Amino acid sequence: MTVSFGLGLRTQHYHDFLETPQPVDWLEVISENFMVKGGKPLTMLDKIRANYPMTMHGVSMSIGSVDGLDREYLAQLKQLEQRIEPLWVSDHLCWTGCHGKKLHDLMPLPFTKEALNVVSRNILQAQDILQRPLVIENVSSYVEFTCSEMSEWAFLSEVCQRTDCELLLDLNNIYVSAINHNFSCEDFINGIPRERVRQFHLAGHQNNGTHLIDTHDHPVCEAVWTLYQRALTRFGPVPTMIERDDDIPPISTLLSELDIARKLAAATFTDSTVEA
Q: Whole-prediction pTM value? A: 0.94
Q: Is the pLDDT of residue 14 over 60?
A: yes
136 bridge partner residues: 91, 167
Indicate the number of domains in the chain: 1
Q: Is the pLDDT of residue 29 over 90?
A: yes
Does the residue 128 lie in any domain? yes
Dihedral over Cα of 54, 60, 66, 70: its sign: negative
Mean pLDDT of 142-169: 97
Residues 6+ apart with CB under 8 A from 5: 24, 25, 239, 240, 241, 258, 261, 262
Does the residue 190 lie in any domain? yes
- Check which CATH number belongs to the domain holding 242 and give it: 3.20.20.150
Per-residue pLDDT tens digits for 114-134: 999 999 999 999 999 999 999
Q: Is the pLDDT of residue 101 over 70?
A: no
Per-residue pLDDT tens digits for 45-75: 999 999 999 999 999 999 999 999 999 999 9
Confidence at residue 103, expressed as pLDDT on a 0 to 100 scale: 62
Give the up-direction half-sphere exposure of residue 233: CA atoms within 13 A in the CB hemisphere: 16
Does the residue 191 lie in any domain? yes
Q: Is the pLDDT of residue 37 over 90?
A: no
Residue 272: burial class (beta carbons within 10 Å; 0-12, 13-18, 19+): exposed
Backbone angles phi, psi at 53, to 5 degrees: -60, 155
Confidence at residue 105, expressed as pLDDT on a 0 to 100 scale: 78
Q: Which residue has the higher pLDDT, 106 or 190?
A: 190
Mean pLDDT of 2-16: 95
* Contact between residue 116 and residue 73 where contact means Cβ atoms under 8 Å apart: no
Q: Kindly state the DSSP code that residue 32 receives in the 8-state scheme.
A: G
Does the residue 276 lie in any domain? no
Compute the mean pLDDT over every residue in the chain, rounded to the nearest whole number.
94
Residue 260: burial class (beta carbons within 10 Å; 0-12, 13-18, 19+): middle
Mean pLDDT of 192-221: 94
Does the residue 117 lie in any domain? yes
Q: Which residue has the higher pLDDT, 96 or 113?
A: 113
Residues 6+ apart with CB under 8 A from 126: 61, 63, 69, 74, 91, 134
What residue numbers bound the domain in which 95 lies?
5-271
